[in-house]
Amino acid sequence: MCAASACCGPERVTTPATTPAHGGDRIAEALRAHGVQRIFTLCGGHISPILAAAKARGIRIVDVRDEVTAVFAADATARLTGSPGVAAVTAGPGITNTITALKNAQAAQSPVILIGGAAPTALQGRGALQDIDQRPLVEPHVKRFLKMRRVRDLAPAVAEAFELAMSGVPGPVFIECPVDLLYPEAEIRKWYAEAAGQGRALPDRALRWYLSRHAERMFAGAGAPASRPSAPRQVVVPRASDAALHRAAAMLERAKQPLFVIGSQAVVMADEADELAEAVGRLNVPVYLSGMARGLLGRDHPLQMRHARRQALREADCVLLAGVPCDFRLDYGRHVRRGATLIAANRSAKDARLNRRPDVAAIGDAGQFIRSLAQTLPTAVDHWAGWTATLRARDLQREAEIDKQAAVQGQFVNPLAFFRALEAEASEGAVFVADGGDFVATASYVLHPRAPLTWLDPGAFGTLGVGAGFAMGAALARPTSAADSGPEREVWIVFGDGACGWGLAEFDSFVRQGIAVIAVVGNDAGWTQIAREQVKMLGDDVATVLARSNYHDVVAGFGAEGLLVQRSYEVRPVLRRARELARQGKAVLVNVWLDKTEFREGSLSM
């Protein structure tokens, strides 16, 4: 227990064989009532009652080696299932370790519930172990910070957190649970009595009176119906107005060169992704997909374009941004030409108007808006066929250029050729998790996600280190066993050699918990995305140089399978071997030595 200290009182509790009802039970029961199947965590005494009670109720406890991984895994769960993912971490440093993942979930609009421990209510601000004021650290990065003061409020807080996380613009919610709300009431009262002592002096008697009153307030009404699990609350999906829908439909009908750009927010309702894909097909408008929307139309849909997006946006006369803000990825709106009609469908009014005021702001769920457009407009006609053919021809030309660049031979492995091989070898049920800079960006040009919700990247925050947690969440949300129906499930992590440094220790977690993922590390011995422009502009490679480290040996030390690729002819046999090992239930890492390329010159973003 990381909180074992006399100042924390409850850490000295010995749990009897039959544990009486306590705050941890109430939270676990509420999580079960909301359909939670797993909690991602790193253990800590402040939260032990929650974990034990959840396990007793059949909720899987998935323990990791870093709290940030737990939140990344919960984030991936949310993205792939459409329901909030849940993580629980201990107080103080356990919570501070999650800040990056919380911020990433907020930026990606991902519904995550983080349950955090806290020092005993009676000792907060008095120097207790791991006691800090957690609100100022966490509150800026979540939709709501729920601070618990009474046991009877724990279960209702879970219901409130689930509703908040999914309503409006989705995002993370934090529930702070002080340790003395979680352990059995009798033990807490016993601890309070011991802490007050038996002294007869006035200060001693005053302390006993204060702690007794404090306990009464904490446990008041704990047996009342309000403390029982609250039923899941109905979350109303925000819908754009009919006026916005009809204006957008009219603009689209008049367009000669329309274009859709669909982003992650459009697939928040994960169980409706197939319906969204069908609606896009009926509208017959060429489309670019980004973030979690990659793969929405399958591997090779004729309407999906992958290259020359900037040029297409500058030529389009009507652009629909579905869940996509005009941030740095669209050059703050400048990629869309001024003369074009701009329709912004977004749950966030702020994002819909960010940097560029649209002609139509359809404030509501972007996926639902596209489905409504498909129902409003008549059956698509072919008067956009020429425009689509032009974009398709550019795509084919760019693919031919990539093929030519992939054919260049070097000392080690051409990254483009590697991804051509991975594209051919990965199963039709593959899920790709992207964690890196230059190597991952190269993958985005070559890999074709096979189906909706089969590509996970960090999103607009650009966070490195998501790979292990995302893969863990993806593997458990989409089982990889041979008994799973449908195409063979595989979870691939595409690691840059810089990014993989965050996730290597989690191969211990993969092995211990039987999670069979396949990681490929693009090992070019450097932080290449940074080095490209830094060396060119500043003439110095300082802090961008890495070694060609034996990452495959590191994971072997954790009990996983490590494979090394140094030559092009080794790539496909090793990828097949990796797939075979994963089918046997083993976690695998393939360390691929890469040649340097100029494929992504000019990749610096501001």
Please give the pLDDT value at position 214. 81
Of 195-199, 277-281, 333-337, 511-515, the poorest mean pLDDT is in 195-199
Q: How far apart are CA 365 and CA 345, in angstroms?
A: 7
Distance of alpha carbon 555 from alpha carbon 503, whole angstroms: 10
| Spatial distance between the Cα atoms of 439 and 457, rounded to a whole number of angstroms | 13
Beta pairing, strands 429-435 & 455-456: parallel
CA neighbor of 523 nearest in space, from 445, 411, 446: 411
Lowest mean pLDDT: which of 18-22, 229-233, 425-429? 18-22
Across 305-331, average pLDDT: 96
Mean pLDDT, range 175-192, rounded to an integer: 90
pLDDT score of 83: 95
Three-state DSSP class for residue 428? coil
409 contacts 568 by C-beta, under 8 angstroms: yes
Q: Which of 427-431, 518-522, 530-534 has the lowest mean pLDDT?
A: 530-534
Confidence class of residue 139 from pLDDT cuts 50, 70 and 90?
A: very high
pLDDT band at 196 (very low <50, low <70, confident <90, very high): low
pLDDT value for 602: 58
Evaluate if residue 573 carries a pLDDT over 60.
Answer: yes
Task: Report angle CA 245, 273, 115 to the nearest 5 degrees.
Answer: 105
pLDDT band at 560 (very low <50, low <70, confident <90, very high): very high
Tokens of 26: 């109430």
For residue 191, what pLDDT is reported?
A: 82
Residue with tokens 């974990």, as numbered in its chain? 51
* Secondary structure element (H or E) that encloses residue 501, with its range: helix 500-503
Whether the pLDDT of residue 227 is over 80: the answer is no
Residue pLDDT, tens place only, 470-487: 999 999 997 543 334 445
pLDDT for 192: 77
Q: Tokens in use for 295?
A: 């793969």
567-585 b/e with 16+ CB inside 10 Å = b?
ebebbbebbeebbebbbee
Q: Each residue of 494-506: pLDDT tens digit?
A: 999 999 999 999 9
Low-confidence winner among 206-220, 291-305, 469-483 (lowest mean pLDDT): 469-483
**Tokens describing residue 37:** 């199947």
Give the whole-number percent of the chain exceeding pLDDT 90: 78
Find out whether 353 and 361 touch, Cβ atoms under 8 Å. yes
pLDDT reported for residue 532: 87
Quickly count: other Cβ atoms within 10 Å of residue 385's Cβ: 10
| Single-letter code of the amino acid located at 436 | G
Give the span between the Cα atoms of 131 and 138, in whole angstroms: 14
Q: Other CB atoms closer than 10 Å to residue 604's CB: what's the count?
A: 11
Judge whether 113 and 84 are in contact, CB under 8 Å: yes
d(CA 381, CA 154): 55
pLDDT band at 381 (very low <50, low <70, confident <90, very high): low
pLDDT at 18 over 80: no
Nearest-Å Rg of the Cα atoms of the chain is 26
Which tokens sit at 184? Answer: 């059995």
Residue with tokens 């030595």: 593
The answer for 486, left when phi > 0, alpha when psi is -120 to 50, beta otherwise, is left
Please give the pLDDT value at position 13.
35
CB 240 within 8 A of CB 362: yes
Asked if the model's pLDDT at residue 90 lies above 80, the reply is yes
Give the pLDDT confidence of 250-260 residue by residue, as tens digits.
999 999 999 99
What confidence score (pLDDT) does residue 488 get? 74
Question: 456 by DSSP, 3-state: which?
Answer: strand
The pLDDT of residue 4 is 34
| Banded model confidence at residue 229, pLDDT cuts 50, 70, 90 | low
- Overall average pLDDT of the 235-251 stretch: 96
- Biggest CA–CA distance in the chain, Å, is 93
pLDDT, mean over the chain? 90
Give the pLDDT confidence score for residue 605 in this predicted structure.
55
pLDDT at position 198 is 76
pLDDT in tens, 265-298: 999 999 999 999 999 999 999 999 999 999 999 9
Most confident of 11-25, 357-371, 533-547: 357-371
- Pair of tokens at residue 480: 């990889």
Structure tokens at 399: 């693919």
Phi, psi of 536 (to 5 degrees): -65, -45
Give me the count of residues in the chain: 606
User: Do 89 and 70 touch, CB atoms closer than 8 A?
Assistant: yes
Question: Could you tell me which residue, 355 or 128, shows the higher pLDDT?
Answer: 355
The model's pTM is 0.93
What would the two tokens of residue 426 be?
Answer: 């990965």
pLDDT bucket at 203, cuts 50 / 70 / 90: confident
Per-residue pLDDT, 199 = 73
Residue 216's alpha-carbon distances to 13, 63, 393, in angstroms, are 20, 34, 74
Instruction: With a cut of 80, say whether residue 606 has pLDDT above it.
Output: no
Q: How far apart are alpha carbons 604 and 606 in whole angstroms?
A: 7
